[in-house]
A and B are shown apart, each in its own frame.
Chain A
Amino acid sequence: MLKLAVVAHKDDNVATTVKDLSKGENVLVDIFGTEKNIMLKEDIPFGHKFAIKDIKKGEEIFKYGEEIGQATQDIKEGEYVHVHNVVSERGRGDLEVDAK
């Protein structure tokens, strides 16, 4: 079976799609030996990410087992994870300006 999405590390809370996937689609992801069936709550374009577990606002997004940013709102399993609900924590000159 062709892969639909990839989980890069066992500690990750997101998967990356390798096909355009649609809302309502059931995706089987292999989380390092543990298979999990996830129902997509939104369309996820090729190469983009969805949550493989519930993520609370303020929690870290993990990919490659590393922090890639922070959730700006609660994200449910199967929801799209991208710039609309994740912020970077690096190179934030804007925050330095706000702090002054």
Chain B
Amino acid sequence: MKLEGYRREDGKVGIRNHLLIIPASVCASEVAKAISERVNGAVYIPNQHGCCQIGPDLELTTKVLVNFGKNPNVGAALVVGLGCEGVPTKKVSEEIAKTGKMVDYVVIQENKGTVNTIAVGVKKAREMAEKLSLMKKEEIDISEITIGIECGGSDTTSGLASNPAVGYVSDKLVDLNGTSIFSETTEFIGAEHILAKRARNEEVAQKIMKIVLDCEKKANTMGVDLRSGQPTPGNIEGGLTTIEEKSLGCIYKGGTRTIEDVLAYGDMPSGKGLYIMDTPGQDIESITGMLAGGAVLIIFTTGRGTPTGSAIAPVIKVCGNPESYERMKDNIDVNAGTIIDGTKTISDVGEEIYSQMLEVINGKFTKAESLNHREFGIYKMISTF
């Protein structure tokens, strides 16, 4: 299938052409939302942070907002700030502008409050929307695509069906010189030794072991059994007994190829191939990290069923549980339950997901896209102050 996408000024390839309205902080979120609602093609991200954060947390929020703006699915961006928050509105805008795409910003305290800022923002956004509408798709190659792989609402079918099938897709993409990122460090606990064996070199293997150890240590500082949060109550109801069992099933989603490196949360890969990103197991935060890392499409496996989408990227939902698929067809794109009932093989379903992925690259809406699911959440290390 011939693939088409948007070739950006920095050479990256996007498969959507969004105008992204970025609130620099939670204080600017409502105004950003109002601007996005008035302008055709605009989307916004509900940022809950950006103010009274310190050190690494402030840097992380700033980086994620900048990298969301840099994501190749974003054709243009408008940053909306209150004016007194920690995240510097103008600097976020300038950083995104380094990609060469259209960017502007508007500050509430400099524009006489909500009403006038919305008016000024809508005017700027409308002009950008018009220019975006003139952009043409070009022929692209599959090797220019970066995907993120997520699993959520897992049950025991995830490790037996949907994750291995998506792992097949990841392997295929990597073999075609594309890029695949998988994440969720919590869900490597108990399976890290298997991943470490697939590392490009000893240094990368050590990084994998370290992020998992750090994650487990952090959980242990709470003084409780991790099982109060992981596996989740739904995971346990679905048959997953321990985090080890969940992890061993989870890692199948990353396929079998060499792991090139471990990325910090929200960082972009430096080359092609398969990467791990250090994120929590919480789906929204994990997906947000991978999109900041430049993924243009997410493949999301589930057993219990989940509605999650994103403002800036299509999310393809793959379900390994035939009963959940029937129950939640509104949210699920591919039925991998056929592996469980024995009518299809892992590679059959892998091919099915791959061909769906090509259609989605070319513009077909996923269920999450057509239902306007636009979840967003930045991982936080410590509290606000």
Contact = CB atoms under 8 A, between A and B. Distances in A.
Interface in A1-21: 2-3, 6, 8, 16-18
Contacts of B61: none
Interface string B218-231: 01111111110010
Contacts, number: 105
B363 interface: no
Contacts of B48: none
Contacts of A45: 239
A69 B226 contact: no
Interface in B133-175: 155-157, 159-160
A83 B236 contact: yes
Interface in B186-237: 189-191, 194, 216, 219-227, 230, 236
B58 interface: no
Interface string B269-302: 0000000000000000000000000000000000
B111 interface: no
Taking chain A's interface residues, is the majority helix, strand, or loop, or is none over half, making it mixed? mixed
B303 A91 contact: no
Interface stretch (B62-70, B82-90, B243-251): B243-251
B238 interface: yes
B258 interface: no
A16 B222 contact: no
Interface string A15-37: 01110000000000000000000
Contacts of B256: none
A90 B156 contact: no
Contacts of B226: 88, 90-93
B323 interface: yes
B10 interface: no
Contact of A69 (B221, B238, B244): B244
Contacts of B238: 47
A51 interface: no
Interface string A61-86: 10110111100000000000111001
5 contacts: A88-B225, A88-B241, A90-B190, A90-B226, A93-B224
Interface of B: 155-157, 159-160, 189-191, 194, 216, 219-227, 230, 236, 238-239, 241-245, 248-249, 303, 321, 323, 340-342
Given A18-B340, A69-B241, 17 more contacts: A2-B341, A46-B323, A47-B155, A47-B238, A68-B245, A86-B241, A88-B226, A88-B244, A90-B190, A90-B242, A91-B220, A92-B225, A93-B219, A93-B220, A93-B221, A93-B223, A93-B224
Interface of A: 2-3, 6, 8, 16-18, 45-49, 61, 63-64, 66-69, 81-83, 86-94, 96-97
